[in-house]
Amino acid sequence: MRQSNRTQKWNNFCQRVARLFCIGLLLTLLSSCRTPSSPVGASPTQSRGVTPTKIPGATLTAKAQRGTQSGSFPAGWDTAESANWAGYTLPRGEVTGVRAAWTEPAISNVPNAHVATWIGVGGWGASYNNIVQIGTLAYVTTDGQIEHTVWYETLPPNSWTFIGYVAAGDKVFASIELEHGSAQLWNLALVDQTTNQTFKVTVSFSSQRIYSDFIVEDPDATSNNGPPYYPFPRFPAVTFSNANVRYAQDWVAITTVRALQVTLIQSGVVVAIPGPLANNAFNVTRVGT
């Protein structure tokens, strides 16, 4: 038999009241059992991720001291060894430019001695056989004369191209820049600020665009990218200054990018040492005999 409409309404009302009573009782029981806690993520003594006394990335040891580039914190560096490089190389990729200044060093007159000072992109790690570079070369000729030349190189192929001359004591400024909008056109330039001469060239080169370099080198005496190396002369400390790297279209100081500090060691003997990065500059000092 079908229930009347009034009875159905009364039954529905009673059911709603019963449900509300049960829900209220359940909420009361749950609230009495809950343990109070702090809001999620709140910390009364330390903000999330903040370390007030430590600069991120800086290593406060003799191997990775702080630089003092104005307006930015130094990124620090790790150490590495090489049989022919002394200086700094920065592993960060997507490099579109490198630039720096130095004074061309006077060298001791040791037969067949060579020392190259340069900037570049590549030549280390995964880019060992991929480099574009420009710099100066001081060397002793076969008749005992000392020459100072301007050169550039791309690898591959493995060949130096000489494009001019400088003199010991000349202040030079070198730059390498990937043309805007190009994948492989690089503008290389070296300005002799003492004589107001400019040496420049544009090369087409497929760079891996990793490792930006600021290096004093003992060049290898063959085309094998390895020993034997030329005799390494003595020279005053070489200072790289105004050293910058470009990523996309932004130039940044080398002190703001994590670097490798490379010491030149041959047969277990330290030959040249890079000093700490400071004020967008560093020295490379010739040591030993």
Domain assignment present for residue 203? The answer is: yes
Residues 6+ apart with CB under 8 A from 145: none
In a domain, 189, yes or no: yes
Domain presence at residue 111: yes
- Give the separation between CA 34 and CA 30, rounded to whole angstroms: 6
CB 179 within 8 A of CB 186: yes
Q: In whole angstroms, what is the distance from residue 60 CA to residue 216 CA?
A: 26
Name every residue whose Cβ is closer than 8 Å to that of residue 124 and which is 6 or more positions away in sequence: 89, 91, 211, 213, 260
Band (pLDDT 50/70/90 cuts) for residue 239 is very high
pLDDT tens column, 112-147:
999 999 999 999 999 999 999 999 999 999 999 999
Q: Per-residue pLDDT tens for 216-238?
A: 999 999 877 778 999 999 999 99
Instruction: Provide the CATH number for the domain around residue 232.
Output: 2.60.120.700
88: in domain: yes
How far are the Cα atoms of 1, 56, 184 from residue 105, in angstroms, in the given order? 114, 36, 32
Count of structural domains within the chain: 1
- Structural domain includes residue 136: yes
- Whether the full predicted model's pTM is greater than 0.95, yes or no, is no
User: What residue numbers bound the domain in which 140 lies?
Assistant: 77-286
Residue 96 lies inside a defined structural domain of this protein: yes
Tell me if 28 is assigned to some domain.
no
For the cut 90, the answer to whether the pLDDT of residue 57 exceeds it is no
- HEC string of 68-109 equals CCCCCCCCCEEEEEECCEEEEEEEEECEEEEEEEEECCCCCC
In a domain, residue 169? The reply is: yes
